[in-house]
Amino acid sequence: MQSTFPTTAAGPSFARRFATSMLTISIGAASLTAPALAHAEGQIRVAEQFGVVYLLLNVARDQQFIEKEGHKQGLDIKVDWLRLSGGAAVNDALLSGAVDIAGAGVGPLLTIWDRTHGRQNVKGVASLGNLPYYLVSNNPNVKTIADFTEKDRIAVPAVNVSVQSRVLQFAAAKQWGDKDYNRLDKYTQAIPHPDAAAAIIAGGTEITGHFGNPPFQEQELAGNPKAHIVLNSYDVLGGPSSATVLYATEKFRDSNPKTYRAFVDAIADAARFVSANPDAAADIYIRVNQSKIDRNLLLKIIKNPQVQFKVAPQNTFALAQFMYRVGAIKNEPKSWKDYFFDDPATAAGS
């Protein structure tokens, strides 16, 4: 499934884009409910979403790093790629057996880790890097999260599951106390990033806020003079943090050790490639996603000093502690290692 990301022009109407996107996702989700056949070493199905945060997957796909690392393990690995929107859809796909590796935010990881604790035992595989997420609004009256009112709607990829939703709740807890952590939930609405960005750029819709990710947040800031940053995820989480991660079931990891090793090594290969070749990485992103994004804007994102492409998760534990504290997860993680698999590639995590 390919996608065309919004440019700084509004493009098709928000209503039509959203309806089309929801139809596509509904059809895809329906197909995921069918039981999946077990498979042996040498096959892997990866679920990704929208945005530059998935650049390492784009590069691994384009450069065939998974296949190349598979050859080192004596395997001819067949890789299937599936694109979804929102952590809820990704988690459903993983639990239904439709995918082997899930790509989503730390929020969805913690939710599914908690839900499968002692059963499927889903845990993190690797980070896709540290990238700041912005809550952008085109409402001039909204300068802080305290300024949102009943007239505003905040787009997030998945309500109460996505990392954007959880970071917004964390910010609300810091603003009004843990008992009011969900104070802004009533304003949130699940909308895929491309459609939400189109709405913010165009204006004139009920969507006045979008907690997105690169490149959509940068496109919004460039495409609408009223668009401005209300919240930066780094400020909420206390510094650079791994907002988007990869995760899998314990069964897949244990049953496919060579395929799993090849996949993790391939993501590490991709991280080194992007860090050393940002221009080539930008071209890969545009090619793989058939994106119409301005290349200079994309390069600015990739080269942003606040962006770090590495596979070891960073600064995830504060969000985990918050989610346990407010009852969003029932199992208390004692450290980040509780919800990530033990692996040399991620040993320096936090």
Residues, the chain: 350
For residue 257, the number of C-alpha atoms closer than 13 Å in the C-beta half-sphere is 3
Q: What is the pLDDT along the chain (350 residues), one digit of tens a residue?
A: 333 334 433 333 443 344 334 333 333 443 343 344 445 699 999 999 888 999 999 999 999 999 999 999 999 999 999 998 888 899 999 999 999 999 999 999 999 999 999 999 999 999 999 999 999 999 999 999 999 999 999 999 989 888 999 999 999 999 999 999 999 999 999 999 999 999 999 999 999 999 999 999 999 999 999 999 999 999 999 999 998 999 999 999 999 999 999 999 999 999 999 999 999 999 999 999 999 999 999 999 999 999 999 999 999 999 999 999 999 999 999 999 999 999 999 999 99
DSSP class per residue in 276-292: H-HHHHHHHHHHHHT--
Q: Quick one: pLDDT at residue 38?
A: 46
Q: How far is CA 314 from the centre of its chain?
A: 15
Q: Quick one: pLDDT at residue 39?
A: 57
Q: Quick one: pLDDT at residue 36?
A: 43
Taking the C-alpha atoms of residue 60 and residue 68, their distance in angstroms, rounded to an integer, is 10
Say if residues 159 and 271 touch (Cβ distance below 8 Å): no
Return the SS3 of 316.
Answer: coil
Distances 58 to 75, 127, 244, 281 between C-alpha atoms, Å? 21, 14, 14, 9
Greatest distance between any 2 Cα atoms in the chain: 59
Kindly report the pTM of this predicted structure: 0.84
Taking the C-alpha atoms of residue 285 and residue 54, their distance in angstroms, rounded to an integer, is 9
Say if residues 136 and 210 touch (Cβ distance below 8 Å): yes
In the chain, the domains with their CATH numbers are 14-131+241-346 (3.40.190.10), 134-237 (3.40.190.10)
Say if residues 62 and 287 touch (Cβ distance below 8 Å): yes
Q: Quick one: pLDDT at residue 106?
A: 94
